[in-house]
Structure 1
Amino acid sequence: MLKHVLRVLALVLVVAIGFVVYIAWPDEAKLSVDQVAGARPDITAPRVQTIPTVKVADAVGWPKGVTPKPAPGLAVAAFATGLDHPRWLYRLPNGDVLVAETNSPPRSGGGLQGWVMRHLFGKVGAGVPSANRITLLRDANGDGIAEERHVFMQGLNSPFGMALLNGQLYVANTDALVRVPYRDGETRITARPVKVMALSGGGNHWARNVIVSGDGKTLFVSVGSRTNIADEGIEREKYRANILQVWPNGNWRIYAAGLRNPNGMAINPINKQLWTVVNERDMLGSDLAPDYLTQVEFGDQFGWPWYYWGGYPDNRVEPKNPQLQEYSKRPDYALGPHVAALGLTFADSARLGDAWANGAFVGEHGSWNRKPVSGYKVVYVPFGPTGYPVKGAKPVDVLTGFLDAKGDAMGRPVGVITDRSGALLVADDVGNAIWRVSAAR
């Protein structure tokens, strides 16, 4: 009996030592982020991780007087501070700005992945309860600072996306799309939200976005996957990893599939087509797989969970789906591995100068599964006159400096929009601020 106990203890000790060694020397990137970015990224062989590389910037907040760093020719200042985990932004017709102060609903789940997710949430300041609130910010005098702040809606359930259509404000809770009547200039909504449709909740990707379609007749709603690669079985991913098309009467259909976590969505001003940014899968090594920016058309299938980047197989996924490989659509533009691309807005209403006049701004929340870290900044993807990214172009830094000298996160960018003057607004859910990027004077 004693020998058996000693063997078990020895085995536990070996496993523990192996785990410590692995954490001390995790998988490291062999390529730069730029090499895995653009229309033709370098797609190398996967390095599958049984125990994930965990490298995330601890959340520390902004020291007094410190701000992010804008690109040359641009300036940055705080539009609003003292918010509670601001994640997403929406500009109303009169110029008022809505901000979703929100966070993940309480998480559960065992196993290694559940432990890792809970551990990471604590490190990045995302483990606090959700305020479940939408706040209205008003810059009435046009000086670039929101001098008015109103509780616009509350009692929501991890709200995220917001969109106005036909006098109704639609809000994407984590488990339902709801709407309330809206009149221009209102600073508070007291009407009880009406449920338009239920949305699949739970799991890792809780944030639901909603935007109005290019023709102004329907809505697009994004619903990320429950797990990394259908780890709990594909049946648990029903109506997940999808963009849904929703009619105001509540009818809906799957518009596109195989998108692990489509978050930011925007309508391309040139061709009125839907574009999205997508968080790709984890634990294939620090160089895979690239998050991406892509146009999305009805019936598109981007391959998740079986394939990434237009047909590269993920051999971890069971059962296999070989017939899907040739139909997996290749995305238009890679943003780099693990950057956590969340925010997206086109530059058609920006007034930042000619260098930023035709393209897309992307908020990169920052990696946890890459060494060294990637993301933690806002980038710009230049587009050509045809409505697609410029051939050979790489992402251009717009707003950086979210990490301090020790590598801790003073802030993390999420949603990006333009204000009525054409400046760029960036939601920072670690710094609890909204930053305003404008042309330098």
Structure 2
Amino acid sequence: MNQIDRLIIFTRFPVSGRAKTRLIPTLGADGAADLQRRMTEYTLKQALAVGIQVEVRFTGGSVEQMQQWLGDRPTYIDQGEGDLGVRMNRAVQEHFEQGARRVVIIGCDCPENRSDTIARAFELLENEPCVIGPAHDGGYYLIGLNHPQPDLFREIEWGTAQVLEQTLAASSRQIKLLPTLADVDEAEDLPLKISVIIPALNEKAHVGRVISEVLEGFNVECLVADGGSDDGTRELAQTAGAVVCHSSPGRARQMNAGAEQASGDILLFLHADSRLPKEWDTQVRRTLMHPKVSLGAFRFAVDKNSMGFNLITWGTNLRSRWFKRPYGDQGLFLKRDLFKRIGRFADVPIMEDVALVRKARREGKVVTLNQPLITSARRWKKHGLFKTTLYNQYVLLAASTGVDPVELNQAYRQGRNPLPLIFKRLKARGVRSEE
């Protein structure tokens, strides 16, 4: 970005009883102020990631209070007198008079507005006179200009559902629109909290990266359910910002233990060697907003590109999307109350994800997102592409024929062919049928 571009955040100092007042009946005065604080901090984090100088225009506090709260990286200016339009126009005019080439203003009520969207606004302003990010409630979360347009801020009914419509009507020039996003003004706008649960056993090499990606989301928590690591996994996870909970080893037990401590409305179960897509939290919430959806998962992808892996990826996504059978390495997510209602993960040593998906399908639709969750190819690399893929299919067949999970897990861990177990099970079925 050019050094004479300017990014301005409009916010207020979070004083209890004065911040997010429409949410006080739902959250209480302190809760509404805390939400204002968290949304502002998150917005600032996204703004700073764009890579240009950020200015915070504030109300309800002092420069010293703002610096103590948000740090020294932004500059701080009081918004001054007048309605919102007067204050925004004043900010824009001042920067253009100082030689700014592109000026973008964002609010703090839209956690879905991420750094990529802000950067896109600056890119569009190379050729477009005005860029606006519409909000679902009829307002906007972003406005950007490459020259002054004071009419855009006059005679607008601020705080109403007519803001965007009136702004578009006031412009004599074309306005480029960004994606429509949700902002947070009313109780029904509050983003559900997501608890991400990562079962881990000696995953120090991978867990720090995935925790960092989890914590890029808004209103999320990360829980690492450790099964007895001795390689520093727990210490690294705590340092990275995760809550570490302890469990006896076994993926199902560990994930159930993490879910028991989770405080979120949504649970996402994630492998330690996974790589989340950008804006994963927004996609998870949007998916589970649909009342007929019971469970979601991401599209399968592997961190290695070859003809063999591409074929595996194609087959896995075909199974997931068309047959509604995603597996745990795709990141399974569902609402916590449904997870409890269907009995959590079965306490079995293997194929616990298959059982959970099967139960969720009885409750509603199972959806696979277009966004990929990248998983490590380390197991294929260790045991061989063909052998691992064939073995996985044997395990699935064994599970479907009713092979005892304990025996199946022993064969799986020891790398033994499960076909004898399948034949044994089918033979036992045949004997019972004859009887």
Place the TM-score, normalised by the shorter chain, in its bin.
under 0.3
Higher strand share: 1
Higher helix share: 2
TM-score (normalizing by structure 2): 0.26
Task: Point out which structure has higher relative CO (alpha carbons under 8 A, 6+ apart).
Answer: 1
- Structure number with greater Rg is 2
TM-score (normalizing by structure 1): 0.26
